[in-house]
Amino acid sequence: MIITLPDGSEREFPAGLTGLEIASSIGKKLAQDALAIVVDGDLRDLDTAIVSNASVSIVTFDSAEGKNIFWHSSSHLMAQAIEELWPGTKFGAGPAIEQGFYYDISSTERFGEEELRQIEAKMVEISGRNSTVRREQMPREQAIEFFRNIRKDPYKVEILEETLKDVKTVSVYHQDGFADLCSGPHLPATGKIKAVQLSNVSSSYWRGDSSRETMQRIYGISFPSEKLLREHTARMEEARKRDHRKIGAELSLFMLTPEVGSGLPIWLPKGAIVRNELETFLKEEQRKRGYLPVYTPHIGNIELYKRSGHYPYYSDSQFPPLTYKDETGREEQYLLKPMNCPHHHLIYSSALRSYRDLPIRLTEFGTVYRHEQSGELNGLVRARGFTQDDSHIYCRPDQLVDEICSAIDLTRFVFRTLGFDDVETRLSMHDPANQSKYGGTSEVWEQAEKDVKEAADRMGISYFIGIGEASFYGPKIDFIVRDAIGRKWQLGTVQVDYVMPERFDLAYIGSDGQKHRPVVIHRAPFGSMERFIGVLIEHTAGNFPLWLAPVQVVVLPIAEDVHDYARSIHTKLHEAGIRAEIDLRSEKIGKKIRESEISKIPCMLVIGRNEQEKGEVSLRRHRKGDEGCYGVSDIIALLRKEIDQRS
RNA sequence: GCUGAUGUAGCUCAGUCGGUAGAGCACUUCCUUGGUAAGGAAGAGGUCAUCGGUUCAAAUCCGAUCAUCAGCUCCA
């Protein structure tokens, strides 16, 4: 038979050769690293015999598929270890996840740190046995018997009887005395798993259903070598160091206190500077692009949100209504504003609009309040009070695609300026199988999704489709950025809405003198200011670019005899609109520099007798070091230029 | 909201068997006036998250509440 390899080369092999044998023929290292194979596009076990011509590639840990198989097998290994330590434990689901694996188990034992270490040790021991992993195909009925009577695992039986009820033949993987229902593929033997780390235990509902029993979910990650595990641990450490909650406290950017309320961030003066700079930046850009600023109140009559449809869809994630009774006993209810759109729609319909007026782009940094579940709260990234850079574009259907494109363009401009270079785009579409989640007719949805796709294609962005990710009123384009250490965050969004114009009876007079329905685009490049800044802090590790830094320059006199000269520099910086501080303490220069470095101040101007005599300053950049001497007006011009260019 | 863990000085963290609170950094004062990541000395700083219980005695044991963290579920 002829086997085609990924590089296009063809090789002749006797029929019936296994994947491992093919890997061995290519190289010894590859045979060692081989975890599975892809035969004509299908993932298979490494010991699969190949009987006819096929294209074959060898899967190793370096690929996404390889990691997936590796971690999935690791979850089986963990289950085996748990079973050997605590016989009788029942097993639910145990998949690979983005960073590792978990297994949901049911046991009378309460698992904690100590048990995790015990399980890890057992896993390493089983890995040392290098037990063969064997696949067995059997009819579903036989598998039910097997799991009911031999394995005695009711969860596997339930999966076989319900989820897999239409499947004839299933596969079971065996390793030593352990067996698990699984479609595979799996590692050829347990010995491939050289390093494991179980991270934590949490709870989960069996089949994600809160009415079913809770299980203990054990998370872990594993690697084919100790070295890879160490690297992973170092990455986790780096993520901890960059945690925006930690940096936010260290740099006095924001605070959260139960005295104000859970999930209600307070911006400290330094954090407020960052936020204000970002707002100014976007306002400037939006002014160039024809947006009209508006302001709307923080509370609104509940009827407004009932009309928009938000209230029934989201009543459980809002703060309870404020109820007000007047002298006559008439009752009114107000809601803390959960979103800005209804207010903007009212602004739109406050005047008669002509087709010549469109598009109208209303914009506001609108603060909204949502009662997020307590377990969801996470610093700035998930808060209960936050400010959206929210705009609504009212346009004619023939202008829609252009307007979506320009919203995409603005969003990309914002990301580029802030240094988010790795951006994924998701077209969030509705799920036709779950129509009750959405407003509007299916024709309207079809049109909206077509428009979104057309705009994305025209802007030349590569995207993927997310079914069921749409909002209740329309499809979205969601921008997911990857930060400096590879984590993904959803930030900006552009959403098309044919539903709200109906609900609010929005209209414009067309060239035919008749009333027509405009289309609305909701868009927010930052998304929420809180969330965006939280992510920006983690992306930059608190090392803000000069234009955003709360303190841009610190003047560091070496000794008291140059204090007057240092003060004069400080004053000049201040007059040039540069945020500057001066450190007049009687500390040594080394200490002043150290503290400025820790405070992540981008520029330090070191001033001693030499500088004073020549009328210069010595520039030291954060994390870069000494950059030599500059004349006073030169340094101001240099910094001013850097700030103005937002570079 | 659910499951689990945690809560001690502004920050990071010790605190053994239940016996009345400790370090480093930061802060204040004094000395020191220096050349690119920590000069020295002294001082001040705590209702041990809150409320209740057990006990002669609670930071420590028990319960409730609040908050935080991890995960689940959810996300206009």
Find out whether A370 and A318 touch, Cβ atoms under 8 Å.
Answer: yes
Region A326-342 average pLDDT: 90
Task: Kindly give, in sequence order, each residue whose CB lies less than 8 Å from that of residue A449, ignoring residues fewer than 6 positions away.
Answer: A427, A429, A430, A475
A360-369 vs A292-293, strand pairing mode: parallel
pLDDT score for A318: 87
pLDDT score for A334: 92
Find out whether A193 and A224 touch, Cβ atoms under 8 Å.
Answer: yes
Reply yes or no on whether the pLDDT at A323 is more than 80: yes
For the question of residue A243 being annotated catalytic, the response is no
Q: Is the CB of A560 under 7 A from strand B?
A: yes
Query: How far: A360 CA to B10 C1' (Å)?
Result: 50
Q: Is the CB of A606 under 7 A from strand B?
A: yes
For the question of residue A344 being annotated catalytic, the response is no
Q: Is the CB of A148 under 7 A from strand B?
A: no
Give the confidence band of A227 by pLDDT, cuts at 50, 70, 90.
Answer: confident
pLDDT score for A67: 87
Distance separating alpha carbons of residues A245 and A250, to the nearest angstrom? 9
pLDDT score for A340: 94
Region A27-43 average pLDDT: 86
Token match 């809405």: residue? A497
Reply yes or no on whether the pLDDT at A211 is more than 70: no
Scanning residues 85 through 144 of protein chain A, those with a beta carbon under 7 Å from any atom of strand B turn out to be 110, 112
Q: Which one has a higher pLDDT value, A99 or A170?
A: A170
Region A276-280 average pLDDT: 97
Give the confidence band of A113 by pLDDT, cuts at 50, 70, 90.
Answer: low
Query: How far: A218 CA to B31 C1' (Å)?
Result: 58
Give the residue among A351, A310, A346 at the shortest CA–CA distance from A501. Answer: A346
Alpha helices by DSSP H, listed for A34-175, are: 64-85, 113-129, 140-145, 154-158
For the question of residue A476 being annotated catalytic, the response is yes
Give the confidence band of A112 by pLDDT, cuts at 50, 70, 90.
Answer: low
Neighbours of A256 (CB within 10 A): 19
Find out whether A118 and A234 touch, Cβ atoms under 8 Å.
Answer: no
pLDDT in tens, A358-415: 999 999 999 999 999 888 899 999 999 999 999 999 999 999 999 999 999 999 999 9
Region A438-463 average pLDDT: 90
Mean pLDDT is highest, among A66-70, A209-213, A523-527, for A523-527
Among all strands, which nt has the closest C1' to A250 (CA)? B11
Among all strands, which nt has the closest C1' to A340 (CA)? B76
For the question of residue A629 being annotated catalytic, the response is no
pLDDT score for A208: 66
For the question of residue A522 being annotated catalytic, the response is yes
Average pLDDT, chain A: 89
* pLDDT > 70 fraction of chain A, expressed in percent and rounded: 98
pLDDT in tens, A11-32: 888 888 888 888 888 888 888 8
Find out whether A187 and A193 touch, Cβ atoms under 8 Å.
Answer: yes
Q: Is the CB of A611 under 7 A from strand B?
A: yes
pLDDT score for A428: 92
Q: Is the CB of A263 under 7 A from strand B?
A: yes
Q: Is the CB of A208 under 7 A from strand B?
A: yes
Distance separating alpha carbons of residues A289 and A280, to the nearest angstrom? 14
Neighbours of A287 (CB within 10 A): 12
* pLDDT > 90 fraction of chain A, expressed in percent and rounded: 49
Residues facing residue A171 across a β-bridge: A137
Q: Taking the mean position of all CA atoms in its chain, how far away is CA A310?
A: 25
Scanning residues 164 through 203 of protein chain A, those with a beta carbon under 7 Å from any atom of strand B turn out to be 199-203
ipTM above 0.85, yes or no: yes
Is omega for the bond preceding A185 within 30 degrees of 0, making it cis?
Answer: yes
Q: Which one has a higher pLDDT value, A115 or A492?
A: A492
- Catalytic choice (A67, A345, A522, A622): A522
pLDDT score for A209: 65
Reply yes or no on whether the pLDDT at A163 is more than 80: no
For the question of residue A28 being annotated catalytic, the response is no
Q: Is the CB of A219 under 7 A from strand B?
A: yes
pLDDT in tens, A458-499: 999 889 998 888 888 899 999 999 887 777 888 999 999 988
Query: How far: A580 CA to B29 C1' (Å)?
Result: 27
Among all strands, which nt has the closest C1' to A111 (CA)? B4
Reply yes or no on whether the pLDDT at A188 is more than 70: yes
pLDDT score for A39: 86
Q: Is the CB of A372 under 7 A from strand B?
A: yes
Q: Which one has a higher pLDDT value, A439 or A207?
A: A439
Taking CA atoms, A358 is separated from A272, A290, A476, A581, in Å, by 35, 11, 22, 48
Region A427-437 average pLDDT: 84
For the question of residue A390 being annotated catalytic, the response is yes
Reply yes or no on whether the pLDDT at A111 is more than 80: no
Strand B nucleotides, any atom under 7 Å from protein beta carbons: they are 1-5, 11-12, 31-39, 66-76
Q: Is the CB of A374 under 7 A from strand B?
A: yes
Q: What is the dihedral of CA A33, A39, A43, A45, to 10 degrees?
A: -60
- Using the CB atoms, write b or e for A6-41: b if 16+ within 10 Å: eeeeeeeeeeebbbbbbbeeeeeeebebbbbbbbee
